[in-house]
Chain A
Amino acid sequence: MCDFDFKNSRNLFPCLIAEKNRKTIYFDNAATTHKPRVVIDKISDFYGSSNSNIHRSAHGMGASATEQYESVRSVVQDFLSAESAEEIVFTSGATDSINLVAHSFGKNFISAGDVILVSPIEHHSNLIPWQMLAKEKNAVIQEIPINQDLTVNLKKLKSLLNSSVKLLAINHVSNVTGGVQNIKDVVGQAKLFNIPVFVDGAQAAAHINIDVVDLGCDFYCFSGHKVFGPTGTGVLFIKHDYLERLAPYRTGGQMVSKVSFDSSEWGAPPLKFEAGTPNIAGVIGLGEAIKFITTIGILNISKYEMELESYFYEGLKKVPNLSLYAGHKRAAPIFSFNVKGAHHYDIATLLSENNIFVRSGHLCNQTLMNYLGIEGCVRASLSFYNTQKEIDLFIDALKLVFKFLKI
């Protein structure tokens, strides 16, 4: 039994209760979530009372900052159920995490003619870095076959796997449909050929429990700003097998053990991957955001969000001429749709006039748009601070918009 008061949880988010936003219905959580008061205070407290650089100062303030920063590694380790804190690398976001692996894994493990398998329904962040890598190394990027319901077609995948395949990259939860992939099954297949698996968890981390050991993946990433943390923070899980074998991404201060004028030796991971002064306050804020999630309980969040999901789904089903892009089981309350006779941009613009904020366009996923045969769509993405009442208002507003557009 969960005693967290979901229905009034909006009050924990200063931006949502600011006078000018009181009437706002924020359904753009897949783009970024709002930040709870505790996270904002934590960042402010850091600058206000313990600002210092980390990993280098002998003084007390530096030690305190280092301790706060490093403690977040354990918080994230627990959040992802990773085996050790060393497997957690701080980045500037999911995009940065993916670029890190494309560079560092690519440098040592990808050669001409090798194959990188990527699904055709990825966010551009989980496609373009692999395209660039393939181009640079003369490797081949190949589509992971998918079923009509947008899940990986395991049977067809099996036929593509061989010793030339050096990496498989896939999302955990879709940024367009909210649908979840069966990562365990995909990893199971890939492991038969010792193929490492990269999982983009950007749309999963705020919604479902993540256990990287259970998933069996080698890399997992997410962005801080999509899990109630600050922008410019992100996480990359690198399985211990790869920590030493991956080349550094960026070089500079903090990531070295020995430097002479003409050569350098790298320090131990994870700092090997964190050159320069990191986003210290941001990481500390991210730690607070994850503690915020774990205090409520990710399973409680999932359960509540799935209630919202069913309610929203039932509501949308009744809207005439609306096509919902879905297929596989939704793990996050993300709904993308189009309405016959109306442009997604017009719908989003007019919803905005009704104080309802959604996203419209190709959602940084043009390959999925092509797959669906559409130019773009409207996306309403919810978080646990949204309510059934807001869903009712959304459906009413949608009807008003249709009336206005005469459809």
Chain B
Amino acid sequence: MNKKITEILANFNFFNSWEEKYEYLIELGRELPALQQKYKIDNYLIRGCQSKVWLCCEYKNKKLYFYADSDAMITKGIVALIIKLYSGLSAKELMTEDFGVFSKIGLKQHLSMTRVNGLNMMLETIKKYGLNYYKHE
């Protein structure tokens, strides 16, 4: 399992209340570098989210870097989590990543949201970027 996931899970286990978990998530969102305004357009919008999520990818030195933002604080925190996990990997590395891992680490158990807002759609988009570059390398 991705080392970063173990780290995140440990952080979640450390918190006792939902307040602390959400504070952590919102803090992660705050630390996320701002997405340039020019990327906040429909082309980069992830469908299926209750709040807006823009996600774009930069391919540099054979690595994929993801940049994203959301208009909702909690969603932005989730976006930040995803970027923490998957940004900066090569297409090949991305192909070996386990994208089902979010349900395995029990994010849904930790955050009693009825559905993790558009999470699967974000992961799908990242996977597609990875696959695309992998095919072209």
List the interface of chain A (C-beta within 8 A of B). Answer: 343-346, 349-350, 352-353, 360-361, 375-376, 404-405
Apart from A353-B112, A375-B52, list 8 A-B contacts with CB within 8 A: A343-B72, A345-B51, A345-B75, A346-B75, A350-B22, A353-B18, A360-B50, A404-B19
- State in angstroms the CA–CA spacing of A238 and B73 once bound together: 47
- Quick check: A346 and B72 within 8 Å, CB to CB? yes
A210 CB → nearest B CB, Å: 32
A356 CB → nearest B CB, Å: 12
A329 CB → nearest B CB, Å: 30
For chain B, the bracket of interface size reads 10 to 19
- Quick check: B51 and A343 within 8 Å, CB to CB? yes
- Quick check: B22 and A353 within 8 Å, CB to CB? yes
- List A contacts of B31 (CB < 8 A): none
- State in angstroms the CA–CA spacing of A353 and B23 once bound together: 13
List the interface of chain B (C-beta within 8 A of A). Answer: 18-19, 22-23, 50-52, 71-75, 112-114, 117
A contact face: mostly helix, strand, loop, or mixed: helix
* Count: A-B pairs, CB below 8 Å: 37
- Quick check: B73 and A405 within 8 Å, CB to CB? yes
- Quick check: B50 and A352 within 8 Å, CB to CB? no
B65 CB → nearest A CB, Å: 26
- State in angstroms the CA–CA spacing of A352 and B74 once bound together: 13
A-B contact pairs, 18 of them (CB 8 A): A343-B72, A343-B73, A343-B75, A345-B50, A345-B72, A345-B74, A345-B117, A346-B51, A346-B75, A349-B113, A350-B22, A352-B112, A353-B22, A353-B112, A375-B52, A375-B71, A376-B50, A404-B23
- List B contacts of A346 (CB < 8 A): 51, 72-75
A341 CB → nearest B CB, Å: 10
- List A contacts of B113 (CB < 8 A): 349, 352
Which residue from A350, A361, A405 sits with its C-beta under 8 Å from B50? A361
- State in angstroms the CA–CA spacing of A106 and B19 once bound together: 54
- List A contacts of B117 (CB < 8 A): 345, 349
- State in angstroms the CA–CA spacing of A375 and B71 once bound together: 11
> Interface centre among A352, A353, A376, by most B CB within 10 Å?
A353
